[in-house]
Structure 1
Amino acid sequence: MKALIVAPSWIGDTIMAQPLFARLHAKHPGLQLDAIAPRWVAPVLLRMAEISEVIDSPFGHGQLSLKPRWKLARLLAARNYDAVYVLPNSLKSALVPWLAGIPQRIGFTGESRYGLINIRHNLDKIALPLMVERFAQLAEAPGAPLPKPIAHPKIRSTANTQQTTLAELGLNRPQRIVAFCPGAEYGPAKRWPAAHFAALANKLAAQGFTVWFFGSPKDHAVAEEISQLAPGLCRNLCGATSLAQAVDLLAMSELVVCNDSGLMHVAAALDRPIVALYGSSSPGFTPPLSEQADIVSLNLDCSPCFKRDCPLGHLDCLNKLSPELVFAACQKRIAG
């Protein structure tokens, strides 16, 4: 069997799809499983043992781009896929597989995709509260119960790729690394304050840890702010690494402290000890899927609100989440 995955446009969502890929291989021995994905997501797919090849999806958010979609569909048609699993629920994500004439087009009903998706699952949010469960359901027949438990997502980082990454970036590996992921693509209401990160950096540095920041170029400024509040203790790598390099450096970390973000899911898939900080969002849908993850949240009456910015203007869910409370969680996880 030869199958294709239409991957999500978010790094964390793509990580949570990996158990689906493993189940497809278990059901179809000898399966060739390729993926079509945006280039910013492709590096995590390439670290999954189940994916043979990643095809670039050049479309930005919201772009219809009918002519380029038709050209991509012709490319896929020539590859003679037997089935495609369309993970996003949008109409546009199902268009190219339909134009390519792939016989089995599997996904959730989504945005009135009748015809475009011809093996349709109807989502029961109560039966499948977690995103990882919803993706795994696509390996089953529509209406069939989902076999549980679901294995945690896994991605690869080897000693060789780690050494190559250190050499490429001109980095020496410290004795003990704590990774901070201070960004969150969704918005400010998911970001722990810079002053709190700086206070935590001081506490961890006193125990002999070197603090490295990871994130996109958008996170560079907040990481610089933290560095200035904790002078001489931090290395700002936000925007200085590729995603593949960040995977390798996170794999070397003794502890990862992160907001609810894509890198949180990367660290979980690498089985790194994690302290995950939740404010406006909820771990009830997309928690870090690892036995080594601790979630720290104040669980205020006003949260989770799922807003990009605090609708009440105070952001108490994160401002009142003290560095002392987070440090205690770090100590517990390090000791464990």
Structure 2
Amino acid sequence: MLAARGDCVGSKRYRALRPILVFCLPAIGDFIRCHSAVQIIAETFPGHPIDVITSPLAAPLARLMPLVRKAWTVEKHWNPGLRERARLARELRRENYQAAYLLTSSTKAAFVPWLAGIPERIGYPREFQFGIVNRLPAGWLKTFVAFGPRKTRLVEQVCAIALLGKQPAEEKQLPAPRLAVSAEDVESWRRRNGIDPARPVLSLYTSDFENMRSWPPERFVSIARHHIERGWSVWLVGGPRERKAAAQIRASLPEAIDFTSTPDIAEAMQQIAASTAFLGVDGGISHAAGALGVPSVLIFGSNRSYVHGPVNEQVTFIEPPISTPSWIVNTRGISEQSVLEALTTTVRKYPRSA
């Protein structure tokens, strides 16, 4: 086992400070949530290098995660063949990892640290990976049975693996995910793009308007126009999935600036970090805004924010009333006025400097 904090720091085992590997989830929002578990592991084993493994889409965000040394990549959903997994396992074997935390329950993922000969492979055997996963958190048997009306948030699930199934101390909360973009990088991005740092910015993340998790386009336009009339800039952020929606907004509001063609997700993080406030819907980019510390208002379907939303304190959720038709996902019951009020309150409570 790893030498946990409190073990003799003069021991040969502790001096080695062998690295730890964390198998993270592949989607952007899920990967960001895994940083809560990384922080717990780093606190438990201070000084040990921590590496992560995730999808090529999410891996660039690892450079912005405090306490993460580097990232390995594997195809989303762990679909590479046995030859590719064996190649990755050989590379991992050379790193001399002491332990692997499997925050994903995929058997395909669990095969890699087993092939790599990593001594401790920690996780819940939800796909019956007994032997492949050789250290089980306390209470692992309960994970095979769904019980009770209260759903468990994903951040709680990954933290439970990092805590080996133990409950955190009563006075301690689970750490919120964090992404860090330096002030120098933000200022450099502003200079390259001719951005006035004195002008407040509202970033909009719409997702695809055909997605039921989104919000009607005319309401986004109304919110954007309200801020532009008061001297704000409005930026449309996201990626290829949001480009059609961004074009639709700009057709009604040409003053909005479309950043959805940004080729690098790390640069997209600089855009969000340079924002004064963020308005978005359920999606990975909204998790990034929360982890970057940007005052955020997020539009969710009813009863979905607790399970699926970011846990960062400067995030405000707006949900439709339960009586709204299609209340589980649909967001049409959310008024523009409630969003404007939430944005005003959130920005005042969590002001940002230029």
Match of 1:328 among 341, 345, 353: 341
Deviation of 1:263 after TM superposition, in Å, equals 1.1
Matched position secondary structure for 1:211: strand
1:281–1:303 contact (8 Å) kept in structure 2: no
1:128–1:134 contact (8 Å) kept in structure 2: no
Q: 2: CA distance between counterparts of 1:223 and 1:246? A: 15
Q: Deviations over 1:140-196 (max 9, x none)?
A: 234x3233411221110111111333355x3423511100011169x7111112111
Partner of 2:316: 294
Q: 2: CA distance between counterparts of 1:112 and 1:265? A: 31
Partner of 1:50: 67
**1:257 to 2:279 alignment:** yes
2:302–2:322 contact (8 Å) kept in structure 1: no
Q: 1: CA distance between counterparts of 2:154 and 2:326? A: 20
Match of 1:109 among 125, 131, 152: 125
Q: 2: CA distance between counterparts of 1:6 and 1:304? A: 34
- Closer, same or farther in 2 for the Cα pair 1:159/1:36, shift >3 Å? same
**1:136 to 2:139 alignment:** no
The letter for the 2-side match of 1:321 is I
Q: Deviations over 1:16-60 (max 9, x none)?
A: 111211111111121111111212101221111211111222x24
Matched position secondary structure for 1:258: strand
Deviation of 1:303 after TM superposition, in Å, equals 5.3
Alignment of 1:266-305 (within 5 A): 266-279=288-301, 282-301=304-323, 305=328
- Closer, same or farther in 2 for the Cα pair 1:68/1:134, shift >3 Å? same
1:3–1:82 contact (8 Å) kept in structure 2: yes
Partner of 1:100: 116
Q: 1: CA distance between counterparts of 2:267 and 2:97? A: 31
Q: 2: CA distance between counterparts of 1:219 and 1:288? A: 20
**1:219 to 2:242 alignment:** yes
Matched position secondary structure for 1:61: helix
Matched position secondary structure for 1:189: coil
Deviation of 1:329 after TM superposition, in Å, equals 1.5
Higher RCO by CA contacts (8 Å cutoff, separation 6 or greater): 1
Partner of 1:69: 85
Q: 1: CA distance between counterparts of 2:314 and 2:76? A: 35
Larger Rg: 1 or 2? 2
Q: 1: CA distance between counterparts of 2:303 and 2:107? A: 26
Q: 1: CA distance between counterparts of 2:64 and 2:268? A: 12
Segments of 5+ residues of structure 2 without an aligned counterpart are 1-17, 350-354
Partner of 1:313: none
Partner of 2:226: 203
- Closer, same or farther in 2 for the Cα pair 1:81/1:128, shift >3 Å? farther
- Closer, same or farther in 2 for the Cα pair 1:218/1:171, shift >3 Å? farther
2:320–2:327 contact (8 Å) kept in structure 1: no
Q: 2: CA distance between counterparts of 1:129 and 1:193? A: 29
Matched position secondary structure for 2:331: helix
Alignment of 1:239-258 (within 5 A): 239-258=261-280
Deviation of 1:304 after TM superposition, in Å, equals 5.4
Q: 2: CA distance between counterparts of 1:118 and 1:304? A: 42
Percent identical pairs in the alignment equals 25
Q: 1: CA distance between counterparts of 2:219 and 2:131? A: 51
Alignment of 1:131-170 (within 5 A): 131-142=154-165, 144-147=166-169, 148-168=172-192, 170=193
Structure 1 range deviating more: 70-79 or 237-246: 237-246
Q: Deviations over 1:245-275 (max 9, x none)?
A: 1111111111100001111111111111111
The letter for the 1-side match of 2:98 is D
- Closer, same or farther in 2 for the Cα pair 1:233/1:320, shift >3 Å? farther
Structure 1 range deviating more: 281-290 or 14-23: 281-290
Q: 2: CA distance between counterparts of 1:241 and 1:335? A: 33
The alignment's C-alpha RMSD in Å is 2.2
Q: 2: CA distance between counterparts of 1:226 and 1:296? A: 21
Deviation of 1:333 after TM superposition, in Å, equals 1.9
Matched position secondary structure for 1:284: helix
Partner of 2:47: 30
Q: 2: CA distance between counterparts of 1:112 and 1:239? A: 42
Matched position secondary structure for 1:324: helix
What is the TM-score of this pair, normalised by structure 2? 0.84
Segments of 5+ residues of structure 1 without an aligned counterpart are 307-316
Partner of 1:14: 31
What is the TM-score of this pair, normalised by structure 1? 0.89
Deviation of 1:293 after TM superposition, in Å, equals 1.4
Partner of 1:179: 203
